[in-house]
Structure 1
Amino acid sequence: MAAPFNARIMDTPLPKEFKLPTIKAYVGTSDPRAHMTRYKAAMVMMGAEDDIICRAFLSTLDWAAQDWFNTIPYGLIQNFGELSKSFLSYFSDNIQCKRLFSHLYAVRQDKGENLKDFLNKWKMEVSNVHDLDSKATIFIFIQALTSGDFHRQLNGHHPRSYEELMRIVNRYAEIEETDRKKKDEEEGRRGGQPNKVGPTNQAPRPNQSSTTKGRDHERPHLVPLRHLTPLTHSVGHDTNECHILKGQIEELVQNEYFTQFVKYPQQQYQQQGQPGNVWRKEEDLEPSASNTKKKRYDQHNL
């Protein structure tokens, strides 16, 4: 392949310790200025001479950008300044227009937006602004934050430079992110505990605090699970098909829901020969001999 450089550039030997830059290849679709800035920075760090910078530039191009390089006439390029100018001119359609500095006044941290996400948004907006005023940018950034402890701290003690502000904000954003992950982990552990009520998909039993335990001796315990708990209100069904509804109500009662409707043992109507923990219709509780002819809804009918 014929090179677009003059003979001097091509004849300059590569340094023994020289390594090609490892930046992302430019394919011709993004802002060429960003690629050129990254490339120059990498080459300056290596201490490369102008001739070497020209020759190494091809290694950072791909696709459309490489096709462009191959269209440059042989021997046309005399130095890296000419190569850079030709590169930026050819891909000028991809250059992003810079905004006025006043655009930053419209950038705000949204409600519920964490500092890390806002910081990424802020940096992107700043990169698209020209004539950046560092001192004014500090004030604009602080005012863009939502109210809270961090905003009050920065507002009370302004950093001396924009670089110092970014260091503080980055550190605080990392702390905030670590704290959020820790809380999510703790909530996940609490939510992932096995349900002690049973294997069915039941509503979880409310947490028993020391106050709840202290009331255990004041309130009578519920009747055993082998019988339905007597209630103070009718469930609204008098047919044998109501056993599903009654079973669901019993499940909730045993999990300490609807306790205001529970009829505790001392409240039950006790009749000789009738177990007190059987759920019966109200008319069956009347002390009348005719009641023996009426239907009873004991546990076997449910």
Structure 2
Amino acid sequence: MMFMNKESDPILCRTFPTFLDGAALIWFSNLPEGSISNFDELANQFIKHFAASKIYVHNSDYLSTIKQGPNESLKDYMTRFAEATNEIPNVNLEVHLHALKSGLRSGKFQESIVIAKPKTLAEFREKATTQIEIEEF
């Protein structure tokens, strides 16, 4: 909508803050009076100031960095891993499974996975669910 009125800088500059809230509105309110001369300058300043806030989308390589903590339950690890996976578009299921197994801490469950060699996420989740039930009991 803002760019449809491209010809009218004053309207754009006055309308812009009505779409802001939180930190963006505070930033805008703290701009020195007369420091912006046109909408393109306002837009560029806004982008420069909030560029670090850009949402970063991980790729499937990120999954290999997720490791089960020394005191982290399997349930918490699986939940944290699932949340990370949900942020990655089009995750390859084989990469997903490999990273999930590789992130397990050493112990009886990890050893059982090495022996059982689940070939699908469903197989892995079935074994994990059984282990989680044991841990919670």
Output the amino acid matched with 1:161: T
Query: How far apart, CA to CA, are the structure 1 residues paired with 2:121 and 2:63?
Result: 14
| Distance of 1:114 and 1:168 partners within structure 2 | 14
Report the alpha carbon displacement of residue 102 of structure 1 after superposing the two structures with TM: 0.4
Q: How far apart in 1 are the matches of 2:65 and 2:105?
A: 14
Instruction: Say which structure is richer in helix.
Output: 2
Q: List structure 1 segments (4+ residues) > 2 angstroms apart after TM superposition.
A: none
Q: Which residue of 2 aligns with 1:106?
A: 65
Q: Which structure is larger by alpha-carbon Rg, 1 or 2?
A: 1
| Aligned-partner SS, 2:84 | helix
CA distance in 1, matches of 2:99, 2:114: 11
Gaps (5+ residues) in structure 1? 1-95, 179-302
Higher relative contact order (CA 8 A, sep 6+): 2
CA RMSD of aligned residues (A): 1.6
What residue is the counterpart of 1:168 in the other structure? 127
Residue in structure 1 matched with residue 89 of structure 2 by the alignment: 130
Report the CA distance between 1:171 and its aligned residue.
Answer: 2.2
Displacement of 1:136 in angstroms is 2.2
| TM-score of the superposed pair, with normalisation by structure 1 | 0.26
User: Which runs of 5 or more structure 2 residues have no equivalent in the other structure?
Assistant: 1-54
Q: 1:166 to 1:98 in 2, by over 3 A?
A: farther
Aligned pair count reads 83
Matched residues in 2 for 1:146 and 1:161: separation? 20
- One-letter amino acid of the structure 2 residue matched with residue 100 of structure 1: N
After TM superposition, give the deviation of residue 97 of structure 1 in Å.
5.3
Q: Which amino acid aligns with 1:150?
A: F
Which residue, 103, 110, 113 being the options, matches 1:151? 110
Map 1:1-302 to 2 at 5 A: 98-178=57-137
- Give how far 1:113 is off: 0.9
Identity of aligned residues (%): 19
CA distance in 1, matches of 2:130, 2:83: 18
Contact kept, 8 Å, 1:116 with 1:174, in 2: the verdict is: no
> TM (normalized to structure 2)?
0.55
Q: Distance in 1 between matches of 2:69 and 2:134?
A: 19
Quote the Cα distance in structure 1 between the aligned partners of 2:94 and 2:75: 22
